[in-house]
Amino acid sequence: MGPPADSARVVPLPALQVTVTRQLQPLRQVARAVSAVSAPDIQDARATLGLDESLALVPGVLAANRYNVSLGTRIAIRGFGSRAAFGVRGVRILVDGIPLTNADGQAKLTNLDLGSAGRIEVIRGPASTLYGNAAGGVISVRTEAPPAVPLAGEARLIVGDEGDGTSLGNLTKWQVKAGGQAGRAEYLGSYARTDAAGFREYSRARTEVFNGSVALAPDTSSTLRLLLNVASQPLAQNPGSLPLDSARLRPRAAWPANTAAGAAEDASQAQAGLAYDRRLGPSRIELLAYGANRTVDNPLTFSIVDLNRHAGGVRSTISLDGALAGRAASLVAGMDLEAQRDARHEFVNAGGARRGATTRDQIDRVSAFGPFAEAQLALAPRLRLGAGVRYDDVRFATDDRYLADGDNSGQRALAAVSPRASLLFNAGDAASFYASLATSFQTPTTTELINAPPAPGQPCCAGGFNTDLRPEHALSYEIGARGWLAPRLRYDLALYTMGVRDEIVSYRVPQVPDRDFYRNAGRSRHQGVELGLEALLTPFLQLAGAYTVSRFTFIDDGLPGHAYEGNRLPGIPPQQLVGRLTLRAAGLDAQAEAQHVARFFVDDANTASNPAYTVVELRLQARRRLQGLGLAPFAALGNAFDARYNASVVINAVGGRYYEPAPGRHLLLGLDVPIGDWRH
């Protein structure tokens, strides 16, 4: 939404249109809580290693850095995804329209290249009407556009000490990018390599990512785009979580069982997509076909997992803008098809080697089918009514080929209807207000379904389907407002209350303390307030902030022998506050950012908690150009006041091992060298 016209020269314009709603749509016509992050807030003076760097100022989003590359950042939106033992679940992740979230609802971000990302859009809250399974929120990453010249490029080098204060060579990342446009063709290629010693002992990691695209425009109304992404992560050691006393006294320590077992991940992934976009007057058709292969060698403390995954799908969308009975109307509709095939082998972990006996040999298949439609109709010049619905059919099947413990083959068919309704009022150019009723659902993932918990007194684990685990369903009521309180003050406010039925919660058992099992809680309630502000204090000084208040409560814990009713759901802080002050003048950018996270519980019983913490980060970047060659050195000081804190937790961990410590004060130095007409 733009500011009042008389201030257009002094207010930094946010993006006026978004695509995360599966159509190109003005933000002021979106009856959802939507946030957007632009390229400078993704790339400038940042390590570009994880989404926690980019999403700090998005209210309602928790992006907790585990400082453990093998598990990845813990991401939650309004509570969805907070219990993920690894990767991301409950939140749908897309890159250039290709889902990183698999058909079963689980995502790993190994191939995410933030160093070439130009934009991130976030739907904060249920979006199953548009995206189906595991859409308690949506994060859509778009690769930056190439410059409008035949050839330009950028080289970047980053070094850091990772918080141990000994050597700036503990972290190195270098990246090269090239791109351009010629006639009706454009291209972009990016290659990045990261080598990290890790803040904690036994947390080394190495990653290489190539991200590229080539686009051709056969005519003025259509585009054909080839997308290619290849990633290799041959080393990602897993130091494990710690009990509170160890996290306080020796935050860099690794858990001994993890080092003894050689817990780590060796993963590679390749994916390709072909996207076709055609505009026909007020209509737009988008077709996307994609495929991916992922291999994982993953020694854990209790087993070694060898996984070979093939996945792919087709997404089709048509959007229309026109009139119905003389009233302005719009429609977006389409269909998604997804498939996933996992060849899964597991072995007893004998000191990190495959000398142990086979414990699992099976083929897991998942297919998903989901048609959808969502429409808006103008009831009055400023008032729009919206409605939508989607049907999803998700099918799981396991073919067990290891029969020593019996045949654990099985099938599950899970279906859901996800409706949505909304009302949007535009109060001129300065503000818009909306109310919505939205639903979401989330199936158990393959990993959750195939790990049936052991019976009391029995060893773990027999495998097979957890036939008692049901999909999770949510119904959300939300009101919100966005706009300009003054010519230089922009705001985004949302309030919601959400009822969740059969919430999928994790737990652990003493027989195998590092493996997560899952059950359904009866009912829970999620409530929250989200506020984002952006103020231009002077033409050179900008203040931005985000404040999130959350209250997530067990209404029925689903267990006859426990009494968690009324307890807070663990893993989500009741308050988060982030403020960022930015000075831009004379080719120099300086930022100071502070984040406060309130104390929160880490177990269902609410007997243990993660202490509150406040961290400050300082960034400085200069920009100079010399005859087509740019120089942009930068520095960042993370945790500037050397706070001792845990950035992430493992919920309901056995033995009190809830905590994943974060580094103390750490330094990052870098140099960007734009060549030709690159973004800088």
CA distance 460 to 462: 6
Q: Which amino acid is at 253?
A: A
| Sign, Cα dihedral of 351, 354, 359, 362 | positive
Distance in angstroms (rounded) separating the CA atoms of residues 630 and 649: 42
Give the up-direction half-sphere exposure of residue 87: CA atoms within 13 A in the CB hemisphere. Answer: 21
Cα–Cα nearest to 117, from 63, 28, 36, 214: 36
Res. 8: pLDDT tops 50: no
Three-state DSSP at 221 gives coil
Residues 381-405, mean pLDDT to the nearest whole number: 93
What separation in angstroms does the CA of 520 have from each of 78, 435, 618, 644? 18, 30, 43, 35
In which band, very low, low, confident or very high, does the pLDDT at 481 lie, cut at 50, 70 and 90? very high
What is the pTM (predicted TM-score) of this model?
0.94
CA separation for the pair 34, 492 (Å, rounded): 9
pLDDT digits (tens, 9 = 90+) for 589-648: 999 999 999 999 999 999 999 999 999 999 999 998 877 678 999 999 999 999 999 999
Contact 233, 241 (CB under 8 A): no
Helices (H) and strands (E) in the chain, counts: 6, 40
* Per-residue confidence (pLDDT) for residue 159, from 0 to 100: 97
Q: Is the pLDDT of residue 5 over 50?
A: no
Q: Which domains does the chain have, with CATH numbers?
A: 5-675 (2.40.170.20)
Token digits for 480?
Answer: 């919100």
| Phi, psi (degrees; rounded to nearest 5) at 244 | -65, -40
Summarize pLDDT for 300-343 with one digit per residue, the tens: 988 899 999 999 999 999 999 887 777 889 999 999 999 999 99
Q: What is the pLDDT of residues 67-81, one digit of tens each?
A: 999 999 999 999 999
Q: What is the pLDDT of residue 3?
A: 42
Question: How many residues comprise the chain?
Answer: 680
The amino acid at residue 230 is: V
Look-up of token digits 């007893």: 348
For residue 10, pLDDT beyond 70: no
> Measuring CA to CA, how many Å separate 455 from each of 447, 459, 463, 511?
18, 8, 12, 10
Q: Is the peptide bond before 460 cis (omega within 30 degrees of 0)?
A: no
How would DSSP label each residue in 570-609? TTS-SEEEEEEEEEEETTEEEEEEEEEE--EE-STT---E
Residue 459's pLDDT is 57
Mean pLDDT of 199-214: 96
pLDDT tens string 112-140? 999 999 999 999 999 999 999 988 999 99
The radius of gyration of the chain's CA atoms, rounded to the nearest angstrom, is 24
What phi and psi values does residue 611 have, to the nearest 5 degrees? -60, 150
**663 φ/ψ angles, rounded to the nearest 5 degrees:** -70, 155
Above 60 in pLDDT, residue 351?
A: yes
Question: Residue 214: is its pLDDT beyond 70?
Answer: yes
- Is 30 a residue whose pLDDT tops 70? yes
3-state secondary structure of 604: coil
Among candidates 325, 327, 311, which has minimal Cα distance to 364?
311
